[in-house]
Structure 1
Amino acid sequence: MKTKNILNGFISGLLASITGMILISVILSQVTLEESLIQLYYQKRLGSLISIGALINLPIFFIAIKKEKYDFSLGLILISLFFVVLITFLKIF
């Protein structure tokens, strides 16, 4: 049961972050989503979009902590750490 809750938090955080990234990109960009992501990658700003999109996990995390769903919160922390590694990789290479 614990692993299932952690996985649910991980997947929820991933889906929420991707949704946030898509919404921000569609709202703020004049081109299509695919072109926007390609341009951000070549401009070395894709990490910035990922970090802004991942901010949506903060309220989800605090709601889960308030409801004492610690395993779910752990999944959110793990996806956040994954994003940190991904952003670091994108900034270096």
Structure 2
Amino acid sequence: MVDVTLDDSDDSVVVVKLQAETWELNIWAPVADLARLHEIRQADWNSRRSLAVGICAGSPVFWARSEEQATILIGRDDETWDIGISMPIGTVDEIARLAGERM
């Protein structure tokens, strides 16, 4: 299970805080970009599609789907990332829902 919160950062950007029992990930992104994550099901990793949304640790963040899992890829691009995390696709749905409520 992954807990999701959106915290204000500045006027145009929020911080997505993803927390599990043993890790935490913070991603900075405009709310409108986060709302685009409702398209995650079209970002099929097997077709090499991803959504570029956010920045983490100074690197771009790419989002993709493989079956019913979502993958967050952090790095220069979606082919040569430095960090990859998988989670239930419902977690990404929750991020998109929270972002949509802020628009």
TM-score, length basis structure 2: 0.31
Structure with greater contact order relative to length (CA < 8 Å, sep ≥ 6): 1
Higher strand share: 2
Higher helix share: 1
**Structure (1 or 2) with the larger CA radius of gyration:** 1
TM-score, length basis structure 1: 0.33
